[in-house]
Structure 1
Amino acid sequence: MTTAGARGTVVQGRGLVPLALLSLVVTTALWGGTFVIVKGAIRLASPVDFLAVRFLIAFVVLATLRPRRVLRLSRDGLVRGALLGLTLGGAYLAQTYGQQYTSASMSGFITGMSVVFTPIIAGLVFRHRIGSMIWCAAAVATAGLAVMTLHGFTVGPGEGLTVLCALFFAVHLIALSEWSTAQDAYGLTVVQLGVIGLLCLALGSPGGLDLPADEGFWAAVIGLAIVATAAGYLVQTWAQAHLPASVAAVVLTLEPLFAGVFGVLVDHDELSGRIVAGGAMVVGAMCLAEFRSSPSPSKA
């Protein structure tokens, strides 16, 4: 293998790219399935308190399992992990507060706009050359999200906060692809989860966490913390060591599709033609992004 680029990244073959892509798709499916669980959990606790305990449990689990992976991080790695956590935490908080003033479908659509913001920011900030097929994939994915979710469009404080959320998600995707390596993925995940948990804790209830004693609530929180949060973000951090941010952004637009599928299976929601058509467009966009994009360096 040879060293390349100002960042000192290591250029390898594309052998790990299909595995990284598949891992990110599976993780996105998992996150889509959590919507049903989260919807029930936040009926019993405030969203910010719920996020705080979810991310703090995930942090404790990963930090306890492999503390040396965190201690092995350089000072730059710790700073990068903290910045990633602040960015992702900002996205969650903007989305959570925005949902109080807009519909769930509008929130899902605008959040998915990160697929458009990602290549724009990557091009402006890091001078990444974004191929025409990535732009085409972003446009198709956005159209697919609109078909699945939109029933009208209004602009208000909720929409504004959710646009901010999409921008934060885009910045997080780009930074993760720039900074994540296979060796640092575990440590970066632990640090960013801890920062998100502390951020939500600081912005939560004035008197501290206000959580129910309900067994169902705690079963949901612990399950989400370990599987969807600790394992999910660990997989995402590793996968983005091998995928361009623009491709990862398109893959993550599958989340509303998976949320709709799980809604049909678990909550017996109606499987409308809009969901089927929009989902097909998003899947097609993912194929365009991966199979028609130029190979990119993979980082060790």
Structure 2
Amino acid sequence: MTGKKTLYADLSLLLVAVVWGSGFVVTKNALDHVTPYYLLFFRFIISTIILSVIFFNKIRKASIKDIKAGVIIGLFLFAGFAMQTVGLQYTEAGKQAFITATNVVMVPFIYWGISKKRPDKFDLAAAFLCLVGIGILSLNSNLTIGYGDFLTFLCAIMFACHISSTGYFAKESDPYVISIVQLGTAGILSFIFAILFEGTKMNIQTQTLIPILYLSLFSTMFAFLVQTVAQKYTNSTHAAIILSLEAVFGSTFAIIFLKEPFTVRFLIGCIAILISVITSETKWEFLKLKRD
């Protein structure tokens, strides 16, 4: 793993965080006109079809190992998005963005368990500081958590498993194949849950077409393909912390477009998360270089 490839991978993950941050606002608006599981079904199935056409030769030559890896990752992906999308009906977009980002604290330990690679002290410190920042932003004065917040926290656990399993399988599998298979798996499960819990009548309105296409092409197809490829060249803890910046972007977009309130707590929480990212990414090496 070269330093340049790692840098490009991390910058790519930062772009993914921006796209995912915008996705909170788009999803919040879309849920006013379409039910959660059908929204998930359309965003995943459209992405799967387009990627399957583009990378048809890779899918045709896919190994059983790659397909199994994609299915496992897809199960975590569906569980995370199902809880997140349903939960967003009961909480604010900005708040959900930061609760979702708590997955950054879980990833080093989950990946440690599956790969036996122990996180270093900087990763652990960064994860803890990130958790503090998220707590400042998300918890009420009486430390209560609502139904939507609880579902979002469960979604964070699933996303931590998703990032960890992606990092584990992407090293040995074809990232394009497992990207397509994971999205297809999530799409099929979304359709099954839509039929079971939302009925067979799909009430898709004209104003939902642009949000669905945005979520399909950018927040899903582009973002997960870039994430999977990038995680071949950077570790899961780095990926989790960079991707947790979606919380900062999500809350910023929510303030701008949904008119959610800007507070001092928001600012302090963002600063804490930013420091956690710097800690994980640089190990504060630039301070050592100055002293030398």
Q: How far is the alpha carbon of 1:85 from its aligned partner? A: 0.5
**Separation in 1, partners of 2:264, 2:145:** 26
Return the letter of the residue paired with 2:204: P
* CA–CA separation in structure 1 for the residues paired with 2:126 and 2:101: 13
How does 1:214-233 map onto structure 2 within 5 Å? 214=206, 216-233=207-224
Partner of 1:166: 156
Which is worse superposed, 240-249 or 262-271?
Answer: 262-271
Contact 1:181 1:238 in 2 (8 A): no
Q: Which structure 2 residues correspond to residues 49-128 of structure 1 after superposition, within 5 A? A: 49-99=38-88, 107-128=96-117
SS in 1 for 2:34: coil
Name the Cα RMSD after superposition. Answer: 2.3
Alpha-carbon shift at residue 159 of structure 1 (Å): 5.0
2:283 to 280, 285, 292: 292
Q: Which structure carries more helix by proportion?
A: 2
Number of residues of Structure 1 aligned to a counterpart in Structure 2 = 282
Query: 3-state DSSP class of the match of 1:16?
Result: helix
Letter matched to residue 192 of structure 1: Q
Q: Which residue of 2 aligns with 1:210?
A: 202
Distance 1:42 1:139, change over 3 A: same
Answer yes or no: is 1:176 the counterpart of 2:163.
no
230, 237, 242: which is aligned to 1:246?
237
Shift, 1:27, TM fit: 0.9
Q: Shift of the alpha carbon at 1:37?
A: 1.4
Query: Which string of whole-angstrom CA distances, capped at 9 and with x for unpartnered residues, describes residues 115-159 of structure 1?
Result: 111111222332211111101100111111122232242256655
Task: Tell whether the 8 Å contact from 1:201 to 1:208 is kept in structure 2 after alignment.
Answer: no
SS at match of 1:203: helix
Distance of aligned partners of 1:213 and 1:104 in 2 relative to their CA distance in 1, 3 Å threshold = closer
Gaps of 5+ in 2: 286-292
User: SS in structure 2 opposite 1:204?
Assistant: helix
> Scaled by the length of structure 1, what TM-score is found?
0.86
With normalisation by structure 2, the TM-score equals: 0.88
Instruction: Tell which deviates more after alignment, 165-174 or 41-50.
Output: 165-174
- Whether 1:194 and 2:184 are equivalent positions in the alignment is yes
What is the rounded CA distance, in whole Å, between the counterparts of 2:86 and 2:261 in structure 1? 27
Question: Which position in structure 1 is the counterpart of 2:288?
Answer: none
| Alignment gaps of 5+ in structure 1 | 1-11, 295-300
